[in-house]
Structure 1
């Protein structure tokens, strides 16, 4: 897994993380990489702002933190 910059925390506020943030932080390298990690269960499925397939997708920052921590535990166990 690539080196990842931690998501900044602002006093326990809920922060929405979008695809561009995941890309900028090095968590994913492309949309294909994101889809692959979601299908493998390494990153949970995103929340959506609507029912349309074009609705914006996002995650809560604490969910991404938990997924990254679980990934580090998996790689450490191997």
Structure 2
């Protein structure tokens, strides 16, 4: 798509937040986990990166609730 990055791990955090943020609705579980102290803000950022990978694997244009939910479950050790 004309970006200089070949993997989402290479996207600077500021760009990820500015240009590649999932919708507020999709981010709700992450926000709730941060508010409850289940994950740190840094972990939330890593969960979003993981959700992007899951979205890429599912061939969807942007992580939605399924990708965010699964990424968060994996982060929390709940994924099977």
What TM-score do you get using the length of structure 1 for normalisation? 0.35
Larger proportion of strand:
1
Larger proportion of helix:
2
- Structure with bigger gyration radius: 1
What TM-score do you get using the length of structure 2 for normalisation? 0.34
